[in-house]
Amino acid sequence: MTLTLLLDLDDTLLNTNMDSFIPAYFQALAKELAPHIAPELMLRALMSGTKRMMESEDFSQTLEQVFNAVFYPQINSPREEIADAIENFYDHVFPTLGGVTSPKSEAKPFIDWAFSQGYRIAIATDPFFPRKATYHRLRWAGFEPEQFEIVSSFEHFHFTKTHPAYYAEILGRMGCPDGPVLMVGNDMERDIRPAQMLGLATYHVDDEPASPSDPGAGYGKLADLPLWLESANPASLIPSFKSVDSVLGILSATPAVLNSLLRGLDLSAWSHEPAPDDWNLSELVCHLRDTEREVHQMQIKLLKEQDEPFIPRPDTSVWSHEDILHGDGAAALKEFNVTRRETLDMLKEITSKDWERKARHAIFGPTNFLEVVGFIAEHDRLHIQQAWSTLKKL
């Protein structure tokens, strides 16, 4: 099975030193925008927007949208008035900040080796920055953005890296790959612990030799990682989506993934059938919406209201066949966003003890609250795989 590598950028592939880089970045941006905004006002708005991005759990709003909703009202200027100045900054001024950083000597040999192994590689950098800025940082590290399957930025991502949902989102954007996955990064709070909360294996980049003791949670120098991977049992790198954090992370990320993957599709793309009798994207999203309304929320209500409830086999007769066959995919996606938010609100009320409540499932037999909600998360993953595969065939 192909390994999927999620790689942090700053201080993993690129010597950044955020204590030096962030002040230089803020000062350069404030100077560029000074003709339009007082620097002290700009900096306060920038910090407020960044804080809101860090806090956001809204899968219906990209981080760019979250930031803009805070930043522009605080500077009392519409986006259109300073759009050209911001573009000029990222095109011409931001690249000059590369002198604050330096390439890591071990990064390129590692990336070359990883590609030679056939690994799928994503740059899992915190999506605070616009795409242009992230691409510049990759080039400072010695790479071209096009080398990597996906590079996270604030235009298309909905969570920052302190949220397990970020890691579910980036995997969803890659089609929810089956097989081993490894998150590699230098920051325990942003790279390692949230990835582990989702159920991913991790490798903590530091100056100590690679640890052989726990193949699912290694640490060491980046240069040691090829040997560590070659000695690791691939089964130890298979994600385990069995915890409350992992299940909630997937449920939060699913609408975010679909919102990004399906954004801007025309009618022909929504109605394209990859093979005879396969669902098109519109039918798939209508199915997700209806399942959420009629099955998943019903199951959760039973689990909340009854002791050891019986979870019946889904009654698909309640769904309109015509609604699915001729439904509006874009409208159904908006409705799915609403119903999934309702589902998550229901689950936020569940105590740690209640997640263990027993139930009997018509298909799976004896089970509990967590396992039933885990079935919902797995259902999400299967249909993201289906949507991603369909999009690849367009």
| Spans of all domains in the chain | 4-13+102-237, 15-99, 262-392
Indicate if the pLDDT at residue 163 is higher than 70: yes
Statement: residue 322 has pLDDT above 60:
no
Is-same-fold flag (4-13+102-237; 262-392)? no
Tell which phi-psi region holds residue 76, choosing left (phi > 0), alpha (psi between -120 and 50) or beta: left
Residue 116: band (very low, low, confident or very high) from pLDDT cuts 50, 70, 90: very high
- What confidence score (pLDDT) does residue 268 get? 93
- Residue 276 is predicted with a pLDDT of 85
Residue 224, token pair as written in the block:
């040691």
Higher local confidence (pLDDT), 275 or 181: 181
For domain 4-13+102-237, give the fold.
Rossmann fold (3.40.50)
Q: Which residues pair with 367 in a beta bridge?
A: 359
pLDDT interval class at 303 (50, 70, 90): very high
Report the distance separating Cα 361 and Cα 370, nearest Å: 13
User: What pLDDT shows up at residue 320?
Assistant: 47
* Amino acid 347: pLDDT: 96
Q: How large is the average pLDDT for residues 371-381?
A: 97
Average pLDDT over residues 127-146: 97
Tokens of 154: 């604030």
Task: Taking each helix axis as running N to C, give the angle between helix 329-348 and helix 297-305, from 0 to 180 degrees, rounded to the nearest 10.
Answer: 10
What pLDDT is recorded for position 318?
A: 53
Across all residues in the chain, what is the average pLDDT? 93
Whether the pLDDT of residue 140 is over 80: the answer is yes
pLDDT tens figures, 35-80: 999 999 999 999 999 999 999 999 999 999 999 999 999 998 899 9
Among the ranges given (155-159, 249-253, 327-331), the one the predictor scored with the smallest mean pLDDT: 327-331
pLDDT of the residue at 207: 72
Structure confidence at residue 235 (pLDDT): 92
Q: Which residues contact 123 (CB under 8 A, 6 or more apart)?
A: 7, 9, 13, 134, 138, 145, 148, 150, 151, 152
Confidence class for position 196, pLDDT limits 50, 70, 90? very high
pLDDT of residue 297 exceeding 50: yes
Per-residue model confidence as pLDDT tens digits over 201-227: 999 998 766 554 455 689 899 999 999
Neighbours of 348 (CB within 10 A): 8
Residue 300 makes CB contacts below 8 A (sequence gap 6+) with 343, 346, 347, 372, 373
Q: Which pLDDT belongs to residue 252?
A: 98
State percent of the chain over pLDDT 90.
86
pLDDT surpassing 50 at residue 12: yes
For residue 103, name the pLDDT band (cuts at 50, 70, 90). Answer: very high
The rounded distance, in Å, linking the Cα atoms of 80 and 202 is 42
pLDDT value, residue 278: 87
| pLDDT range class, residue 319, cuts 50, 70, 90 | low
Percent of the chain surpassing pLDDT 70: 94
The mean per-residue pLDDT over the stretch 276-290 comes to: 91
> Residue 176: left (phi > 0), alpha (psi -120 to 50), or beta?
left
Query: Lowest-confidence range among 73-82, 159-168, 329-338?
Result: 73-82
Q: What is the pTM of this model?
A: 0.95
* 262-392 CATH pick, 3.40.630.30, 3.40.50.10470, 1.20.120.450, 1.10.10.10: 1.20.120.450
Residues 6+ apart with CB under 8 A from 125: 8, 9, 10, 134, 137, 151, 152
